Structure 1
């Protein structure tokens, strides 16, 4: 994601230039919603020759990796990056948590959520999956890898190691293969990784934002994120592969701008493709060779098609879905749970009734997502934007923050990319697909 939030003007030049990214998010969002909706509402239509949810999250992570590091580089403003991250991610995230806790008397929280302080600590950092803590909402676990990526990118930026995206993507991809061969799960278990990580996270980010020991603090945070990814993740090879995909997205952007080569992306794709085939921790249907390879191929082809169509006019519905993709990502799974709690099990219902309930559920998800974007996300983004600008003005007067060679120009990409959050899939309908 990006450094400073600036909501795009739909009539401005950047909105058409980067509409393909929103369209990709729209496609990814629809895929994830379909992966969660079909097993409950229309199980006979669920595809098994590829995984809709994993396909969607791979598209999301490619988009995220494509733009986040270069956006930070263009602004050169680490403080604004983290201010924007907080106001972009946390308000809706916390709102969903509050609602789900308030309704836990009706739909109990998942068993994977610890009933102790480790759950609070893990949710505070969003590092849920890399400390092996289940999220209050099923899809929250994917935010762990976004947060790990932010921490790594910040550290790399401050030590001027951010230009080696191709190498990093290959290293993480090779690491996914190696980790899968030797690690069967979290090496470091228990609640203490969550407690330690929240303390390091809070103190470290306070230093990064304030400027006190910024580079050293960012390096500590990056090393912590890497250690958690490798040692305490629920599925270490998968998390490492996700980081490989994200850095591959960055490498694609550098190649497109003439600052790198494309062959590291091909090597990364090949390594990620074979990572689960011999992994000790595997066995889910979606990591079987034919399904996994088809899912990766479709995600890569979708991203390539989006790039080929950049600058062209795209369906407004896709760009709109991309606009609300974070809300769609966070609210759809809880809403589907509540909907099924009211309607009862629909898997054996008559087809006309299934279709009617599906239409109602989709309408409800879209409506609530649009409202949460309008009344939660957008106002909080605007607040974060104002604070970032105020901070930037103070720092310009103090001559403090910008890296050498980084101008203070407005970057239309930044606000555009604030709408990106990836999705992945968990199916808790008894299909046996859940990761962890």
Structure 2
């Protein structure tokens, strides 16, 4: 059996042992699109007994937690890890930002984006939601928690505390309950947060990648990420709960490898389940107890079911959707806005017309997502792997074989939006 530290080897014609993770991202990608497509195109079909958006968040963050620390440990080199992450995330991210800004004469940039330099600083770090700045594309807010997780994992790795994922997941889950009870929103506010965090982020990552005071820089970045998560997130208890879920994913991976138990995962799940029940900042329909608990149960069942099927051949459409899922995540919401701008409000249209328009919109989204993957994502990932190997030398052997391991949540993320462009 291949270990987490070595590239996977698969017999010709056999299914990839990690294809189940791509299939999970494919399922999540469908949830992402449905979360935003249904309210605009087929509102009568939107479910309210669970939240498609939160379901996607939980599934994708479990995947990130399961994979990202393993990718770092397998690289064994934070420089290679961050080089790979940069070329995985930023090229398409910047391309979508450029698209939205270029089309702003037609569809204005959302009001949640400040019209000053703080928006530039926040987008530069991806720490949008934890400095209370809206992203130019509605779904970008979830990347904030992915970036926070990367910074925390890097700090834990350099101080050799990364094996304590279960304990960390429980601590964050407990923090989500406590923060929800005492905090009604971001404690720290203002554009200065975006500027300061950008400066620290740039200087810290330069040191981490360049090897100057690497341990100190990684710890400073981790502490900054923790402070922003708990003190300046739009919904602090939700941010802590999301990070808890990611570390629970890591704990599952440790358990699978015989390096830990499942009890931290169970405790984390229980604490996350109760976190919004008494939170001061709540009231949205998706945190009503029946909806919230059902959503958590469905996400857990989806992850467990896919894990039980690992090693088996899975539907090609799901693994393909997982492959293009990061493009799908970033481009689908702007494209839906442009599509509706052309067709007009479809919510009161006859059902047959709604169905036709929904199919056309979905085809457009999938086609452009596939093109974005082919001509933006894949070439940049290849360049990133080449630079990672060059920078790390022999120590980075195998870094070019990330495959599914290089996906994480960045493959696709969902939104807790209400379908109108507003997110929690």
TM surpasses 0.5:
yes
Aligned to 1:419: 407
Query: What does 1:110-125 correspond to in 2, within 5 Å?
Result: 110-125=110-125
With normalisation by structure 2, the TM-score equals: 0.95
Distance 1:263 1:427 in 2: 32
**Superimposed CA distance per residue, residues 238-274 of structure 1 (whole angstroms, 9 cap, x where no aligned partner):** 0000000000000000000000000110000000000
Distance 1:354 1:228 in 2: 42
Report the Cα offset of residue 409 of structure 1. 4.5
Kept after mapping to 1: 8 A contact 2:26/2:322: yes
Aligned to 1:405: none
1:347/1:287 Cα in 2 relative to 1: closer, same or farther (>3 Å)? same
1:49/1:135 Cα in 2 relative to 1: closer, same or farther (>3 Å)? same
Aligned to 1:200: 200
Report the Cα offset of residue 425 of structure 1. 1.5
SS at match of 1:74: helix
1:39/1:221 Cα in 2 relative to 1: closer, same or farther (>3 Å)? same
Query: What does 1:28-107 correspond to in 2, within 5 Å?
Result: 28-107=28-107
Report the Cα offset of residue 429 of structure 1. 4.5
Kept after mapping to 1: 8 A contact 2:31/2:52: yes
Aligned to 1:410: 398
Aligned to 2:168: 168
Report the Cα offset of residue 414 of structure 1. 2.5
> Which structure 1 segments of 5+ residues have no match?
397-401, 403-407
Report the Cα offset of residue 435 of structure 1. 3.2
**Superimposed CA distance per residue, residues 11-62 of structure 1 (whole angstroms, 9 cap, x where no aligned partner):** 8689611100000000001011101000000000000000011101110000
Moved over 4 A (4+): 8-15
Query: What does 1:21-420 correspond to in 2, within 5 Å?
Result: 21-393=21-393, 396=394, 408-410=396-398, 414-420=402-408
**Superimposed CA distance per residue, residues 322-355 of structure 1 (whole angstroms, 9 cap, x where no aligned partner):** 0000000000000000000000000000011000
Report the Cα offset of residue 74 of structure 1. 1.9
**Superimposed CA distance per residue, residues 70-103 of structure 1 (whole angstroms, 9 cap, x where no aligned partner):** 2211221110100011100000000000010010
Distance 1:207 1:356 in 2: 53
Kept after mapping to 1: 8 A contact 2:71/2:81: no
> Which structure 2 segments of 5+ residues have no match?
none
Distance 1:98 1:14 in 2: 41
With normalisation by structure 1, the TM-score equals: 0.93
SS at match of 2:160: coil
Report the Cα offset of residue 411 of structure 1. 6.2
Distance 1:428 1:284 in 2: 9
